[in-house]
Chains A and B, each alone.
Chain A
């Protein structure tokens, strides 16, 4: 494969190539420099002197290569898989690679975001080119040094060989020369069949540090002169800070100061990621986390009601009314749905709901900040460092050059750390306190000041003809701050008469992206509904879906269908085979398939009920089409995690509100899935097709909720419509 780009673009940032991706890398920032502090595995060290070949690579004279991971690591394993892609094209031995977490660096990198399962998909080409370009420059340097034509050189594991003369030279020996050469405009990328790193299970590069408890996470940050900080935010949505009295708190041991902060002053242009920010809060600063956590409870705060308090019951009523009577946006209409329903032999109708969900990353929100008059240093767990920098620049009237944002490893993200208000709070506190601070939320702060997965309500109708063919399909859905409907996803394109309607509901409760936004609800609803429709049609649920895909392959309805029906059907066929669907497993089984975040997933879930009727998931068979699997072990881990996370939230997850206040605030009242409730076994199979890879942080979660609902029906004879499912089950 040959790729071409103009040198100017390559040196700067390649924008909008192929539909708007952004990923920059600049070469020629050649420099001999002493490393400040190189993060490294204990067994592998960079030498004192090394050459920086571009924003991603440092090559030591001894051939040890440091690859900078550009994107935030939230547990999706990009810190391993993105450098693997560079290392593959660079042609080095993975055992000779050190991975270092990059800081926010808009000169050298673009899209330093952890979100939407996009890091691998959008990084694929640019990361390959980065490795391949560096390799080409090393070859060119070797050609000069060995005085042989570059075309006669080959590379293997960090060595460059001239077979005819028997000469060879290591990358480290030519790196400093390579860095002075012109950047080639065209580079050859490897044929995927020659991959030696991509496709090999590669251990998490931080695993050793994790299992030995080394400081990796934002909450572990400690600096000279650092103070510990906490915040007091409104206890309910609809309240704002009016006044506070901190006399008692200030008298407590270790407390240095208590003051109000304003995260969104009038006239300051904030970023989208600041949307859910609580404007005014009370900040407290002290000498230890515990002293701060204790003393903040002694601050007397007067809150002002600025908008009406909301309740979960009120939301349910309002959403039911919107579904029944609300004015909807007609997002898609094919054919004549009303006429088709009128002539249908059978109509199936069902309504599904889901509650708010907090993210509950195991590491509570926290951030380090040291802000002075002319400089801001921020470090911590953030999925959107660039947006945090922009907000800091705005708030403190600084140039981005005065701001440094570093990303720690994150104790989970799931979307919560897209919204970096905790970083803004830390910066404001540091500036006001005149000291470096580490802000840490209590679990209660974290759970009750969230950007929650919205609550949803969706109503489906399907019309079947006398032969059990689906001739009409109607979906109408609402949710807080937006409808969960994706109007162009399956089964759009499979049914002549189709109507999708969206209704958004206002609320003062803040919501945001939560692992597989909207898909995390709508996939389960849709796949449970189709199971019910298949049953009404008298068809096997997999056969029923395959018939629909067959229609979408041969004669799709409409042109805006947002899926590849062959790949969709492919995962369903694969899971049918792997699960032995056509034989009886003995357990209650449910099936589901979904496509989101560019990857296709189908699952068969087997469960049993214990004597009390409590379900136990025995096994989940999962078929995945994400194109090329960059790191199989990491991919399996993501898929298994999504499955367990999906089952857990569908069974137990709910955050409810009374008078604007979350009823659950910690793990004694909020139920997350625990070890004994996880599936006993998960078996994943990948479709092998050589297509460019897509992400896996999210796609396995949405469908498993449908597979679970369908298996529960097989086990109990009762359909489940409202999450959490355990609300209607024993145990």
Chain B
């Protein structure tokens, strides 16, 4: 066990954890940001997606020891905006995307990261950018439309 300082949603948090502890479990169990979901634990489903310095990363694959350095800024769904006003969140509401809703925070974090990198994505860009996030309910067509709407709001 060791002490780490991590910056999550604009705040510095002191945590005590084993160095290999995945960021996912630190932010869920220790910090209480439960919007970030556990889906597979092996970086395959995308439910645990957060931003590290604005880029989508699988938090289940990031040991706490690797994200406490260099003043990395970690953003979870709770920190994407103050009150859900991020264009991606607004587009998700407009398209009534969620069914069960469990994978959607990861989907939205991937979408927001995609739009950071490619503000006006083509269909192919969206397909590639969102391929890492699984939705068992089958909301992909709505996600696709919502990413386009969000892109429109950002431009």
Contact = CB atoms under 8 A, between A and B. Distances in A.
A363 B29 contact: no
Contacts of A211: 77, 84, 89, 92-93, 98, 104-105, 108
Given A219-B37, A640-B142, A412 B136 contact: yes
Interface stretch (A399-407, A665-673, A711-719): A665-673
A208 interface: yes
A667 B18 contact: no
Interface stretch (A98-106, A234-242, A286-294, A593-601): A286-294
Interface string B79-113: 00101100001001100101111111100100000
Please indicate which of the listed interface residues B22, B136, B140 has the most CB atoms of chain A within 10 Å of its own CB: B136
Interface string B36-65: 111111101101000000000000000000
Please indicate which of the listed interface residues A212, A443, A667, A682 has the most CB atoms of chain B within 10 Å of its own CB: A212
Given A211-B89, A213-B33, A290-B25, A253 B47 contact: no
A676 B136 contact: no
Interface in A534-552: none
**Interface residue SS majority, chain B:** loop
A253 B1 CA distance: 8
A679 B143 CA distance: 12
A212 B78 contact: yes
Contacts of B25: 288-290
Contacts of A643: 138
Contacts of B101: 75, 204, 206-207, 210, 216-217, 409, 411
B32 A253 contact: no
Contacts of B81: 212
A674 B136 CA distance: 9
Given A634-B96, A678-B138, A440 B38 contact: yes
A207 B96 contact: yes
Interface in B95-152: 96, 98-105, 108, 123, 126-128, 130-144
Nearest to A212: B84
Contacts of B140: 644, 673-675, 678
Contacts of B38: 219, 289, 364, 440
Please indicate which of the listed interface residues B34, B37, B99, B128 has the most CB atoms of chain A within 10 Å of its own CB: B99
Nearest to A675: B130
A288 B29 contact: yes
Nearest to A252: B18
Given A220-B34, A228-B29, A363-B37, A412 B105 contact: no
28 contacts: A75-B98, A75-B101, A201-B96, A204-B98, A207-B98, A210-B98, A211-B89, A212-B77, A213-B105, A228-B29, A289-B28, A289-B38, A290-B22, A291-B18, A362-B37, A362-B39, A362-B100, A362-B103, A362-B137, A364-B38, A411-B103, A443-B42, A640-B138, A666-B44, A668-B44, A675-B130, A675-B135, A675-B143
Interface of A: 42, 74-77, 201, 203-204, 206-208, 210-217, 219-220, 222, 228, 253, 288-291, 293, 360-364, 409-414, 440, 442-443, 633-634, 637-638, 640-645, 648, 666-668, 672-676, 678-682
Given A210-B104, A290-B22, 11 more contacts: A75-B99, A212-B77, A222-B32, A228-B29, A362-B45, A409-B100, A442-B41, A644-B139, A667-B40, A674-B133, A675-B140
Interface of B: 1, 18, 21-22, 25, 28-30, 32-42, 44-45, 47, 76-78, 81, 83-84, 89, 92-93, 96, 98-105, 108, 123, 126-128, 130-144
